[in-house]
Structure formats: structure tokens, C-alpha cells
Amino acid sequence: MQRLNFDVDVVDVDWGAGVDPAVLRGKLQADYNHEIKAVCVVHNETATGVTNDLAELRSVIDACRHPALLLVDGVSSIGALDFRMDEWKIDVALTGSQKALSLPTGLGIVCASPKALEASKTAKSLRVFFDWNDYLRFYKMGTYWPYTPSSQLLYGLRAALDLIFQEGLDNVIERHSRLGHATRLAVEAWGLKNCTQHPKWVSNTVTAVLVPAHIDSTQIVRQAWKKYNLSLGLGLNKVAGKVFRIGHLGHLNELQLLGALAGVEMVLKDVGYPVKLGSGVAAASAYLMQSTPLIKSRM
């Protein structure tokens, strides 16, 4: 936004913390002339594994009777976490094909509310490649795309959505909740801590694990890849070298997660952390045995 020359009021928080509704309330209440045009928030912050409460933020905007648009980065949340575009009156939501939709990278997917579409008609900001008006004009013509589309990815998206609807979106969200909780139980059993500072912010799509000061988390990620063909996420920016990340989103089931957790335990042992092999897997398994339902299509 800054590179597009917007006037941006960046509200920083500690890494591992979520958005403070009180700060948002204070800024909106002080904006008597309604100069703030939009509130922008990341739903699920992947570097630290923090999920923000969009319903609470919407309630703050409504309580202040402020007309600002609510713009949401839902790249690592939409299709995996509870996300209610209409109920929470989200005006613009963005996601990508490579996260919960389980596709290769390449598609950016945007949904805009009638309020946002109306606002775009008088907006003065420069727009070129992703100008909504171009897309809307081609929608009316029946061709849907102002440029050559990524046909293979669109066919893949159709198949991915079929899988989601076959399982049922509510069931998909519940599955991610189980996988997230199981991962956190494993982390606790290893004697490690979640980077997320409060349970209300924990993410059900990614867990950022803090490592002891004498261990470089980059070494953990490299060892996992080079020895066990296990892909873990690096610590980024302020938490580089301090955390590694376990992704648990998309077309992933309980047994796949347990295999990944077993791999993490072996890596921790390799780098000298005194983990008891099987401890995290046992904690996650015990929970998943009790919480995983029968597959409805096979009952």
C-alpha cells in the first residue's frame, strides 16, 4: 500500500500477538471526518501463527458507526478457518491457490462486496493489471477474463472445490481445528512453546514453534529437508533463527500430520534437543483418536 502511495497508518504489534481491538476503536473514534477509507487486516499471520478475530474487529467498526471498508488478507485462512464474508460484512477478501485450496501457486482470488464495488467507481488510485472494471466488463460479455487465463489452474480449482464440498466446508474447518490442536499438543509434549502469545490467537493452519536460544531453527528446517524430505517453514524477519513452522492446512489428514510430527521429533533429536521420541506423536494420537469422526461417505 505504501508503494502505491496510499496514506497508511501502520499499527504494529509484538510478533506473536494479534490485533488489539481497543487500538482500532481509538483510531476510528478519533476520525471525526471519516478520512480513514479502509481497515486492512491479515486474518491468519503465518510468520508467527496468529489468527485475528475478524468478527470482533467488525463489531468495533460497527460500534463506532464508521463507514470504512474492511479489507482482509485471507491467504492462509479462507477454505480452512471460519470465514464469514457476508455475516462479518467483509468488503474485500483475498486468498491464494497454494494454501487451503491445495493447488500450485499461481491464482490470486478476490471477492468484493457491493459496497467495495461502489467505492471503486470513485476511487482515484491507479489500477492497471487487476482493475475490477476490466474483469466486470468481460464477465458481462460472458468470457470472464480480460487476459489469457491459467486454464490448467482453473480446472484444478474446480477439482479442489469439489473435494471441499464433498467433505463439507464445516467439516473442513473442523478438521483443521483438530489438526491445529493436535500439533499444539505435540509441541507441548516436546517441552517447547508456541510463538503465539495467547491461546485466543492460535492458528489452526500453521504453528510457529519457539526453539531454545542455543539452537538455530534454520538448522532444523535444513536438516528436515536434507535428511527426511520434510518441508518445514523458516522463521521470518524478527523471529528468524528463533522459530520453525509446521503447516497443517489444505488436503491433509490425521495420519499425514502424525508422520510430519514424527519427522520433527527425529530432526529435534538430530540437532541436539533432548526430545523423547514418540512423545509428541503420542500426545497428538491420543487426542485424534478421541476427536476424529468416522468418514461420512464410508459409513
pLDDT for res 225: 98
The band of 143, judged by pLDDT with boundaries at 50, 70 and 90, is confident
Q: Report the topology of domain 21-164.
A: Aspartate Aminotransferase; domain 2 (3.40.640)
Cell 535444513 found at: 222
Q: What is the pLDDT of residues 3-55, one digit of tens each?
A: 888 999 999 999 999 999 999 999 999 999 999 999 999 999 999 999 999 99
Show the DSSP H helices in the chain as ranges: 21-30, 54-63, 114-120, 132-141, 151-167, 169-189, 217-228, 254-270, 279-291
**Residue 13 to residue 20: CA distance in whole angstroms:** 8
Report the range of poorest mean pLDDT among 189-193, 250-254, 293-297: 293-297
Homologous superfamily in CATH for domain 169-291: Aspartate Aminotransferase, domain 1 (3.90.1150.10)
The band of 296, judged by pLDDT with boundaries at 50, 70 and 90, is confident
Q: Which sign, positive or negative, has the C-alpha torsion 155, 163, 246, 220?
A: negative
User: How high does pLDDT run on average in the chain?
Assistant: 95
Show the DSSP H helices in 84-228 as ranges: 114-120, 132-141, 151-167, 169-189, 217-228
Instruction: Reply yes or no on whether the pLDDT at 128 is more than 90.
Output: no
Q: Angle at the Cα of 147 (from 143 to 151), degrees rounded to 5?
A: 75
Instruction: Reply yes or no on whether the pLDDT at 219 is more than 90.
Output: yes
Q: What is the pLDDT of residues 153-186, one digit of tens each?
A: 999 999 999 999 999 999 999 999 999 999 999 9
pTM: 0.95
Nearest Cα residue to 23 out of 35, 9, 33: 9
Domain boundaries, the chain: 21-164, 169-291
